């Protein structure tokens, strides 16, 4: 295999696929990136048996020069960590790779590297997913859906199903739900789907979705989404992202979402977030990361204390207040993460009682909802 490529093109693709390459694994071949030159196209692949990322690089003319020239087809596996570090430090805008069996010569300017490759025949095949059916979202929309929900998934393997985000497609609406049993986040969007997706439910690992969000562009690039054979396939531009699904039944969360409320308060999002961040400075020093809220019609007090450091009390004015006075305690981190994923200037918090779940909704984005269970404490 022989090719010449613009360093920036190769580096960008390499940075994307390395997100699917483990730093440690019992299978050394998986620490490498598979490089394939075929049909005047270069393909880089990273795969950890759970997440797979492939990026195609095609030639185009830039400043009158070709960005890719494939002189001989072939494939090789190179250690991804070292290849990435080397590529970043190359002295010239062009790089040349020559492969003889498993010996690789990488040259850029006057720098010449001799690298030991791995046999590409040992590299596992990625799962095959039919890409002729599914639905389409803009990249920015998909990224927002993931950001708004994946942070709430469980990190413990005791209940594997809630380590993932439930994707439910029904009657033209795609709904994502993440929960760790102490809080829940849900967001939804209208989409168009093939008839074969009349109704669908799949659990996608939160880790996979977070890695996907890191490589999705923030713009309105169309993203094709397919779910089939226990695999998620997401395609955008020259990138293909694959992830296995989580088997099992996602808990029925609809039963815990309240529909009637005793107190409804609208806050300025940034003002509430900043106040909770200050309370969290002391709350994080106690076992449950607790902040307390004393809510009266004309005054909201946010409090926290640490036996060793001290306490803080801060008052903020609500925009609107409906219902009865109330006191409640909750985990500061859960509330902060929900507020940070609330994209509007105002948030509405709906309370059903001191010991019952409460809802946080960004005003003007009714499909997005965060539910948090309060903390029961004796001296509230």
Domain boundaries, the chain: 2-122, 135-253, 257-372
Same fold flag, 135-253 and 257-372: no
pLDDT tens-digit profile of 302-347? Answer: 999 888 889 999 999 999 999 999 999 999 999 999 999 999 999 9
Q: Are 192 and 148 in contact (CB under 8 A)?
A: no
Provide the 10 A C-beta neighbour count for residue 221. Answer: 15
Q: Can you state the angle between helices 80-89 and 7-17, rounded to 10 degrees? A: 150
Domain 257-372 has CATH 1.10.240.10: no
Q: Which among 327, 333, 332 is positioned nearest to 351, based on CA atoms?
A: 327
Phi/psi at 139 (5° precision)? -60, -45
Q: Are 183 and 334 in contact (CB under 8 A)?
A: yes
Phi/psi at 132 (5° precision)? -95, -5
Element (DSSP H or E) covering residue 211: helix 206-215
Structure tokens at 296: 């009266």
Which neighbouring-strand residues pair with 190? Answer: 173
Q: Which among 163, 162, 161, 186 is positioned nearest to 174, based on CA atoms?
A: 186
CATH T-level topology, domain 135-253: DNA Polymerase III; Chain A, domain 2 (3.10.150)
* Ordered DSSP codes for 116-155: E-B-GGGSPPPPP--TTS-EEEEHHHHHHHHHHHGGGS--
pLDDT over 80 at 132, yes or no = no
Lowest mean pLDDT among 137-141, 178-182, 225-229, 268-272: 225-229
Q: Determine the pLDDT at residue 172.
A: 87
Structure tokens at 271: 């003002």
| Coil/strand/helix, residue 222 | strand
Element (DSSP H or E) covering residue 8: helix 7-17
| Coil/strand/helix, residue 25 | coil
pLDDT over 90 at 178, yes or no = yes
Average the pLDDT over 275-290 and give the result: 88
pLDDT tens-digit profile of 14-67? Answer: 999 999 999 888 999 999 999 999 999 999 999 999 999 999 999 988 887 889
Q: Determine the pLDDT at residue 249.
A: 95
Q: Determine the pLDDT at residue 196.
A: 59
- Distance from C-alpha of 224 to C-alpha of 214, rounded to nearest angstrom: 17
Q: How confident is the model at residue 133 (pLDDT cuts 50, 70, 90)?
A: low
Q: Are 164 and 354 in contact (CB under 8 A)?
A: no
Classify domain 2-122 at the CATH superfamily level: DNA Polymerase III, subunit A, domain 2 (3.10.150.10)
- Distance from C-alpha of 44 to C-alpha of 34, rounded to nearest angstrom: 6
Q: Which among 335, 326, 331, 328 is positioned nearest to 290, based on CA atoms?
A: 331
* Ordered DSSP codes for 244-273: EPPPS----GGGGS----SEEEEEEHHHHH
Cβ partners under 8 Å of residue 311, min gap 6: 282, 303, 304, 305
Q: Are 247 and 181 in contact (CB under 8 A)?
A: no
């Amino acid at each position: 295999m022989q090719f010449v490529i613009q360093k920036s093109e190769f580096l960008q693709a390499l940075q994307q696929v390395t997100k699917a390459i483990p730093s440690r694994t019992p299978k050394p071949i998986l620490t490498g990136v598979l490089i394939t030159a075929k049909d005047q196209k270069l393909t880089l692949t990273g795969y950890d048996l759970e997440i797979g990322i492939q990026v195609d690089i095609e030639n185009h003319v830039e400043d009158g020069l070709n960005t890719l020239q494939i002189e001989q087809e072939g494939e090789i596996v190179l250690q991804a960590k070292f290849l990435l570090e080397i590529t970043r430090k190359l002295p010239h805008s062009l790089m040349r790779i020559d492969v003889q069996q498993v010996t690789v010569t990488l040259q850029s300017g006057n720098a010449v590297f001799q690298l030991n490759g791995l046999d590409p025949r040992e590299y596992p095949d990625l799962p095959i997913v039919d890409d002729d059916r599914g639905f389409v979202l803009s990249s920015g929309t998909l990224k927002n859906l993931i950001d708004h929900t994946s942070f709430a998934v469980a990190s413990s393997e005791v209940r594997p199903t809630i380590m993932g985000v439930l994707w439910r497609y029904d009657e033209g609406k795609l709904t994502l739900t993440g929960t760790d049993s102490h809080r829940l986040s849900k967001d939804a969007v209208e989409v168009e789907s093939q008839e074969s997706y009349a109704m669908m439910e799949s659990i996608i690992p939160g880790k996979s979705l977070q890695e996907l969000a890191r490589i999705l562009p923030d713009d309105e690039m169309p993203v094709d989404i397919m779910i089939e054979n226990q695999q998620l396939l997401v395609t955008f531009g020259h990138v293909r992202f694959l992830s296995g699904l989580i088997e099992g039944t996602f808990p029925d969360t609809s039963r815990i979402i309240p529909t009637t409320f005793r107190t409804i308060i609208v806050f300025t999002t940034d003002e509430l977030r900043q106040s909770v961040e200050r309370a969290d400075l002391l709350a994080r020093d106690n076992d449950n990361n607790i902040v307390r809220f004393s809510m009266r019609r004309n005054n909201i007090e946010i409090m926290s204390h640490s036996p060793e450091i001290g306490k803080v009390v801060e008052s903020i004015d609500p925009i609107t207040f409906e219902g009865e006075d109330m006191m409640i305690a909750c985990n500061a981190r859960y509330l902060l993460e929900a507020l940070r994923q609330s994209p509007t200037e105002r948030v509405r918090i709906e309370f059903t009682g001191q010991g019952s779940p409460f809802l946080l909704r960004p005003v003007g984005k009714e499909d997005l909802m965060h539910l948090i269970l309060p903390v029961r404490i004796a001296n509230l």
